[in-house]
């Protein structure tokens, strides 16, 4: 048995001893009295009786030891701003934000909704909530008013922190009018709205008696000294609404102590980042990666974290690597989608800067296909580590854990179950699959520390949504198909609700995408199931090619489409052959890189594409429509 296999086995079979050791990675004001209370399955309470504070662990303890070390680097290539904060400076700014919140009546257990662009003040607001025991709920900046209103009504925030506008690809994205409309639509609008004015949206309307100015209040609290509120480990730290929800939003509720321990352990064992180093995660605070690996994780580990407002190709496709060189980034975390964007640019941008500080690149958010994995690892000459997880879990479920053992990286797979996750591949009757047999990725509870403790305000929904896959055994459903190979490496094949049923054959969209991507001309692809009267559904592909010359004429397009279909036939059989392969120059995604497959499917079936406020580039939808129109 390898070193990691032993480590993993102990985390499952000697759960309490294992997590008691990991709990020493954070500071406790009162040590836990019980490691895991699993007396009411599937609810797990971690580090019961312990008291701690996320802000103390992320900021104060490092400010005490290393006040002048860099903690936060804010960079906007949209507004050409760049500013660094030491741990001492970060602590001061967080205390000012905390004092502002307290002056507006916010206290322990109150909710604060944060509707913000990627600016330093967003970090201050998040950490200030943690400092005073308020529960933050970050909503992706620019989210539509109706969607924002449902989240306001679910969280019932006492305060909203926002800004006049964000910036994306050189364009201002005004927020205030969306926020005002959401507050009109909501049944439970907040008492106060704290506004950061960036000067990007001139003349935004101020609501008298409700809206207050951040800069004015900050000036009154420059010397604020706000102590950390010591929280019970099991008290909620934040609510994060899962993307793509319909009807009543689903608020993932995270605890305090379990989350702190899980992140501290992941920084040590998975991401291998330590004090004095720098981490650059290219996500957004509106998504879970932003919470775990822009804000809390790196800071808990004593690292500097980079908060970036911008795209991977503005001002040029070398910008990320330029920042790696400038700030001597040690750990980088991005999305496969971003790598595919870079793959379409000249490779020379990857070799223009000194990347010697970089230990490894982590990718998550979408399944990482083998060609993309192989390409980026070959170009960087560094370990590129795929990892798989969810908003619900808060940290990786599958990954190589190279802080324990330097296991082989296999292309196109997020590798092994992470310690603490009793993960198995299940058949639909609840029995466990054999090697190389496709099934549903499930986790036998208790879920490890850091995972959702419930759905905000709805314990019944928590159980019915995540633990009703089988009557027996009780299993957390990931809603993803997966396979484990003979060496124990796991492959994610797509959502169980992204299954295409073609004439009785069940096909995962991910499998077909992998096959299409096997054609050398294809840079990126999305496959959706489209209704068909004869077969139930037919797969339809939307592909981005590396060289536009390959599709310059209708004859060339037809020839390439035929070639791609032949590749799919060879890999999966004719049953998986796409009915059509449409060629586009870009695919619709959220800013965090999540492909909007349901919107593509809706357009392909002549339906409304739904709420698209999180889309990165609206023109990609017009391309889909044009392609479908012929």
Task: Say whether pLDDT at 278 is over 80.
Answer: yes
Q: Are 183 and 195 in contact (CB under 8 A)?
A: no
- End-to-end, the C-alpha distance of the chain in Å comes to 57
Residue 531 and residue 448 in one domain = no
- Return the structure tokens found at 100: 């502002």
101 and 194 fall within a common domain: yes
CA distance 68 to 13: 43
Band of the pLDDT at 246, cuts 50, 70, 90? very low
Same domain, 219 and 131: yes
- Pairing, β 304-309 against β 70-76: parallel
Residue 244 in this model has a pLDDT that exceeds 60: no
| Distance, CA of 217 to CA of 438 (rounded, Å) | 57
Q: How confident is the model at residue 22 (pLDDT cuts 50, 70, 90)?
A: very high
| pLDDT above 50: residue 245 | no
Average pLDDT over residues 411-434: 96
Give the three-class secondary structure for 117: coil
**pLDDT of 346 over the 80 cut:** yes
Judge if 412 and 516 occupy the same domain. no
Contact call for residues 68 and 88 (beta carbons, < 8 A): yes
Phi-psi category of residue 342: left, alpha or beta, with phi > 0 → left and psi -120 to 50 → alpha: alpha
Same domain, 508 and 476: no
Burial class (CB in 10 A: 0-12, 13-18, 19+), 536: middle
Task: Read off φ and ψ for residue 206, nearest 5 degrees.
Answer: -100, 130
Report the percent of the chain where pLDDT is more than 70.
Answer: 97
Tens-place pLDDT, residues 474-493? 999 998 999 999 999 999 98
Mean pLDDT, residues 408-418 taken together: 96
Residue-level pLDDT at 609? 79
> What total of structural domains would you count in the chain?
2
* CATH number of the CATH domain containing 508: 3.30.300.30
* CA-closest candidate to residue 452, choices 310, 572, 291: 291
CATH number of the CATH domain containing 237:
3.40.50.12780
Residues 399 and 508 in one domain: no
The H-or-E segment that residue 561 falls in is: helix 554-572
Alpha helices in 278-418 (DSSP H): 288-290, 297-300, 319-327, 336-343, 370-380
Instruction: Provide the pLDDT confidence category of residue 332 given band limits of 50, 70 and 90.
Output: very high
What's residue 508's pLDDT? 75
Q: What is the mean pLDDT of residues 347-374?
A: 92
386 by DSSP, 3-state: which?
strand
pTM of the predicted model over 0.85: yes
Which tens digits make up the pLDDT trace of 303-314? Answer: 999 999 998 988
Task: Sheet with 454-455: list strands edge to edge.
Answer: 211-213, 192-196, 159-163, 111-115, 135-138, 238-241, 251-254, 454-455
Which of 31-35, 142-146, 342-346, 531-535 has the weakest average pLDDT? 531-535
Question: Do both 467 and 564 map to the same domain?
Answer: no
In this prediction, residues 237-254 reach a mean pLDDT of 78
The answer to whether 334 touches 324, Cβ cutoff 8 Å, is: no
Regarding whether 79 and 197 lie in a shared domain, the answer is yes
Residues 108, 217 share a domain: yes
Q: Who has greater pLDDT, 597 or 274?
A: 274
Q: How far apart are CA 208 and CA 393, in angstroms?
A: 41
Q: What is the pLDDT of residue 1?
A: 64
Residues 519 and 588 in one domain: yes
Range of the domain at 512: 503-629
> What's residue 494's pLDDT?
75
d(CA 56, CA 26): 9
Kindly report the average pLDDT of the chain as a whole number. 93
Under a CB-based contact definition with an 8 Å cutoff, are residues 65 and 48 in contact? Answer: no
Residue 350 CA to residue 367 CA, distance in Å, equals: 22
Give residue 509's pLDDT band: very low, low, confident or very high (50, 70, 90). Answer: confident
pLDDT at 168 over 70: yes
In a domain, 345, yes or no: no
Q: Which of 430, 445, 480 is the last residue of a domain?
A: 480
- Which position has the token pair 């800004």? 163
């Amino acid at each position: 048995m390898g070193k990691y296999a032993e480590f993993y086995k102990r985390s499952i079979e000697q759960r309490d001893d294992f997590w008691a050791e990991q709990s020493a990675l954070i500071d406790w004001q009162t040590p836990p009295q019980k490691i895991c209370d699993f007396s009411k399955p599937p609810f797990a309470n971690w580090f019961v009786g312990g008291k701690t504070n996320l802000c103390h662990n992320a900021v104060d303890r490092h400010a005490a030891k290393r006040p002048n070390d860099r903690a936060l680097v804010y960079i906007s290539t949209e507004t050409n701003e760049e500013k660094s904060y030491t741990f001492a400076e970060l602590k001061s700014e967080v205390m000012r934000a905390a004092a502002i919140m307290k002056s507006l009546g916010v206290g322990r257990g109150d909710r604060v909704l944060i509707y913000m662009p990627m600016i330093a003040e967003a970090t201050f607001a998040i950490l200030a909530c943690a400092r005073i025991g308020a529960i933050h709920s970050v909503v992706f900046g620019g989210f539509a008013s109706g969607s924002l209103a449902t989240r306001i009504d679910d969280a019932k925030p006492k305060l909203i922190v926002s800004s006049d506008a964000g910036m994306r690809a050189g364009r201002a994205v005004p927020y205030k009018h969306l926020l005002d409309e959401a507050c009109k639509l909501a049944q439970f609008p907040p008492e106060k709205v704290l506004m950061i004015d960036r000067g990007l949206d001139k003349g935004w309307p101020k609501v008298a008696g409700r809206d207050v100015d951040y800069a004015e209040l900050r000036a009154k609290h420059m010397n604020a000294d706000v102590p950390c509120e010591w929280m019970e480990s099991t008290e909620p730290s934040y609510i994060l609404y899962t993307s793509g929800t319909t009807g009543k939003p689903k608020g993932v509720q995270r605890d305090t102590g379990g989350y702190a321990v899980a992140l501290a352990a992941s920084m040590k064992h998975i991401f291998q980042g330590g004090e004095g180093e720098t981490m650059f995660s290219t996500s957004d605070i509106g998504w879970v990666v932003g919470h775990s690996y822009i804000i809390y994780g790196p800071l808990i580990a004593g690292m500097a974290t980079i908060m970036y407002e911008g795209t991977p190709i503005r001002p040029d496709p070398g910008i990320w690597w330029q920042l790696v060189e400038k700030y001597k980034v040690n750990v980088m975390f991005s999305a496969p989608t971003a790598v595919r964007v870079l793959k379409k640019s000249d490779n020379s941008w990857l070799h223009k800067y000194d990347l010697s500080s970089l230990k490894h690149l982590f990718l998550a958010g979408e399944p990482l296909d083998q060609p993309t994995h192989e390409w980026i690892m070959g170009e960087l000459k560094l370990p590129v580590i795929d990892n798989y997880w969810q908003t619900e879990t808060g940290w990786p479920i599958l990954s190589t854990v190279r802080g324990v053992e330097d296991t082989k990286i296999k292309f196109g797979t997020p590798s092994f179950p992470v310690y603490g996750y009793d993960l198995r591949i299940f058949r639909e009757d609840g029995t466990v699959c054999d090697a190389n047999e496709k099934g549903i990725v499930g986790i036998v509870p208790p879920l490890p520390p850091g995972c959702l403790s419930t759905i905000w305000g709805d314990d019944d929904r928590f159980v019915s949504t995540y633990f009703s896959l089988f009557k027996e055994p009780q299993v957390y459903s990931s809603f993803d198909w997966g396979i484990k190979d003979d060496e124990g490496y796991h492959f994610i094949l797509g959502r169980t609700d992204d299954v295409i049923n073609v004439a009785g054959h069940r096909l995962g969209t991910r499998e077909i995408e992998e096959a299409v991507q096997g054609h050398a001309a294809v840079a990126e692809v999305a496959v959706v199931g489209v209704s068909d009267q004869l077969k139930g559904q037919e797969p339809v592909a939307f592909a981005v090619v590396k060289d536009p010359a390959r599709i310059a004429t209708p004859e060339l397009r037809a020839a390439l489409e035929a070639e791609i279909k032949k590749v799919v036939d060879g890999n999966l059989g004719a049953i998986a052959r796409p009915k059509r392969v449409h060629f586009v120059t870009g695919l619709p995604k959220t800013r965090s890189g999540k492909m909007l497959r349901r919107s593509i499917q809706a357009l392909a079936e002549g339906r409304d594409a739904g709420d698209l406020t999180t889309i990165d580039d609206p023109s990609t939808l017009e391309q889909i429509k044009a392609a479908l129109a012929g």
